[in-house]
Amino acid sequence: MGYNAFKDDKNYNPKYGINGRVQKDEFSIDGKSWNYRDPSNMKYSDGHIADRIGDDGSAEDYGNRNSYGYTNALYDYSYGQTRDAAKALGINNVNNKDDVNDLLEYMQNGPEQDKTPVADITDDEQTETALTPDEPYKPSAALVNAREVSNNWAKTYGPGGNLSPFKSNFQDMAFNPQEANPFRPTTDANEYVDNYKKGIKGAFNFKPVIG
């Protein structure tokens, strides 16, 4: 393969390019390197060239003949800042005033913020009710049923009177199945333990030891 200055020259820098030329995927100002369009680059100043050759009477411009008036504002920022801003905006080659304005806006104020309000989305019915207080809270049928069972248990026996307001298979075995209610209602702890021992003994025909 032949020599490729862009890839083989270890000193190659896309900021300067090679005589202003850069690769297609590199940041550029109207197809040329950053340095080539830099208004302060006197390498391309006709006035300085005239001075060097002793042409004191010439009226050449002392600015960079390769710079553009509409891109000069970008040079208030560094090459790295402008290149990174262009990458964020999807601009590879700056070649119009709109590109310049977008870059200046980005570098001066940062990326445009999304001002769309975040929607408060939730499936929680209480939260939804809190957001719309004119609609009364309606508990689910399952919750209403559970509350009714719990309230009936508390009114009949009270806390400590039963193992639970909800019946279980083990309790059916432990206590007399002939009773309408398998629980042994009591508020006395000793009586509860004694009844529990009797229920276990009757169900399994052995005497448990409970300390």
User: What 3 state SS string does the chain have?
Assistant: CCCCHHHHCCCCCCCCCECCECCCCCCEECCECHHHHCCCCHHHEHHHHHHHCCCCCCCCCCCECCCCCCCHHHHHCCHHHHHHHHHHHCCCEECCHHHHHHHHHHHHHCCCCCCCCCCCCCCCHHHHHHHCCCCCCCCCHHHHHHHHHHHHHHHHCCCCCCCCCCCCHHHHHHCCCCCCCCCCCCCCHHHHHHHHHHHHHHHHCCCCCCC
Give the pLDDT confidence score for residue 6 in this predicted structure.
82
* Residue predicted with more confidence, 123 or 84: 84
* Residue predicted with more confidence, 136 or 50: 136
pLDDT band, very low/low/confident/very high, at 180 (cuts 50, 70, 90):
very low
Give the pLDDT confidence score for residue 95 in this predicted structure.
96
Q: Is 50 exceeded by the pLDDT of residue 170?
A: no
Q: Is 60 exceeded by the pLDDT of residue 92?
A: yes
Give the pLDDT confidence score for residue 147 in this predicted structure.
79
Q: Is 90 exceeded by the pLDDT of residue 205?
A: no
Give the pLDDT confidence score for residue 187 in this predicted structure.
55
87-96, 131-140, 143-152: least confidently modelled range? 131-140
Task: Say how far apart CA 37 and CA 79 lie, in whole Å.
Answer: 11
Q: Is 90 exceeded by the pLDDT of residue 73?
A: yes
Q: Is 70 exceeded by the pLDDT of residue 116?
A: no
Q: What pTM did the predictor assign? A: 0.48
- Tell me the per-residue pLDDT of 17-62, one tens digit each, with 9 for 90 and over: 999 999 999 999 999 999 999 998 888 777 655 555 555 655 456 6
pLDDT band, very low/low/confident/very high, at 183 (cuts 50, 70, 90):
very low
| Average pLDDT of every residue of the chain | 74
pLDDT band, very low/low/confident/very high, at 193 (cuts 50, 70, 90):
low
Percent of the chain residues topping a pLDDT of 90:
34
Residue 94's identity, in one-letter code, is: V
* Residue predicted with more confidence, 165 or 194: 194
Give the pLDDT confidence score for residue 209 in this predicted structure.
59
